[in-house]
Amino acid sequence: MSGLRGRLKRLERDTEKTVIECPTCGEEFVTHGDVAAEFIRHEWVRESGGETYRETPEDVLRLFDHKHAPGAFVEKSSGLPFLSREVSGINLGGSFVGMEDPGE
Ligand SMILES: [Zn+2]
């Protein structure tokens, strides 16, 4: 029954709450589910022309609405960037475009 166990585990993870903090101003964002993956997908769609905007969760859209670069946000409990491999489990293979502050 390893398949079922995997699914239950996944379900658990999907509804997990993650608190993300802006390192610049300290504002906190409560997100649910796989926020790093949603963030990356949203950013990717935007970069590639944005024609297939799917329903990005409200949680994630709020990160983009913030006045500071969302790619630099950290996961509050660990203090690590939420896009880092340690937090997201996703290996972005080097620098990610969204992680650089536009420096406005
Ligand atoms: Zn901020």
Does pTM surpass 0.75?
no
pLDDT tens for each residue of 21-49: 999 999 999 998 889 999 988 888 888 87
Distance 82 CA to ligand 1 centre (A): 15
Boundaries of every domain in the chain: 10-85
Distance 14 CA to ligand 1 centre (A): 26
Distance 12 CA to ligand 1 centre (A): 29
Distance 67 CA to ligand 1 centre (A): 6
| Rounded-to-integer distance, Cα 59 and Cα 41, Å | 14
pLDDT tens for each residue of 39-94: 988 888 888 876 655 678 889 999 999 999 999 999 999 999 999 988 888 887 65
17 phi and psi angles, rounded to 5 deg? -95, 135
Q: Which residue has the tokens 């996961």?
A: 75
Distance 69 CA to ligand 1 centre (A): 8
